[in-house]
Structure 1
Amino acid sequence: MAHTGEMARRARSMVIAALVGIVATACFSAPAPCACQPPEPDWAALPPPQPEPPLPAGHYPVVVHDCASTVSEEKTSHSDRFADVHAISINRADESAPSAADVYLHATQRPLVLVLTDRTSMSWRLHADPGVRIALVVMSTDMWHELDTDGLTQVDEPRITDQDDWPELSDPALAALAGTPPSSRTHCGTASLFSIRAGP
């Protein structure tokens, strides 16, 4: 019986080791946050939203108010689209603390699709004027992230998806926009305050 008990203990040890290996493999390969990543940030501890500065002169639809480096901008005209797709990306790969980015939305001629990309834990806080139409918000990150819509008090709540699920949306018009060049693409290494305005 002692021999049988020893075999049972070894079997349990092998099962536990196998489970640990499975969990570790899944943790490092899964796209969603899991046990190997830091715990979800305390979003309530982030600083309050920043007020929007006056908009500078210019016609580029996305304004970066506080970029700490060079702003990369690219604009493509799509007159046949029902919505304007604006892609904003922030590269804070060297920062571990969670951050917040405020995006102020002004009324545009067509609905907005926002593609928000970051490389650290980020709370994207949207603020909108009356009349703004947000067709979709696409979140593109492997880290913890939050979409704060408290600033959308006078507009409809947007539909939210991630980059992988965008082409599979049930709305064919929105799904067709996935994988196509955006109306504008804006990148800054470190920034936290943006505005989107009507183009020319």
Structure 2
Amino acid sequence: MAHIDLGIDETENPGIRGLMRYRPETAGPLNALAEALLRAPNSLTSGERELIAAYVSGLNECVYCCSSHSAFAAAQLPEGMPLVDQVRTDPDGAPISAKLRALLGIAAVVRDDARKVTGELVSAARAEGATDLEIHDTVLIAAAFCMYNRYVDGLGTLAADDPQRYVENARHIVEHGYGR
């Protein structure tokens, strides 16, 4: 149970979904940010951007967000959940592009201490083909998911136990986006 009374059945609205229903006036901007970062046109695919969100959420040990965004990434990547699981456990050994690997490295540093993102990390990502927009969006995705993770976990929300729930939510997000 959440630390506050959300006035809803948390089993039907776990994690951030319950928080969004509790406070729709903050849900709008939070969903708009997720939509812009994860689904708007970009040279990184939606699946790659969801993978960054899942990776950061996993590093933060946010079960709900990691499970959700892992499912969202898997639904949009041809390699599906096996790739997501590989990236989450061993990004250096996962079969992803060198560019995405460099961006995940930046995301991990942002998650740990954003002040430790160095010019060398950025130059390494550029050397692998990352654009300034991709670097910008990676940093913002990592920073935003630190906030989302702390929001979900700080209020002690429920994480669904059934992995199928995340798969069902992924279908909805892929089809309709965030906040619809």
TM-score range, shorter chain: 0.3 to 0.5
**CA radius of gyration, larger in:** 1
More helix by share: 2
Instruction: For CA contacts below 8 A with separation 6 or more, give which structure has more relative contact order.
Output: 2
TM-score, reference length from structure 2? 0.34
More strand by share: 1
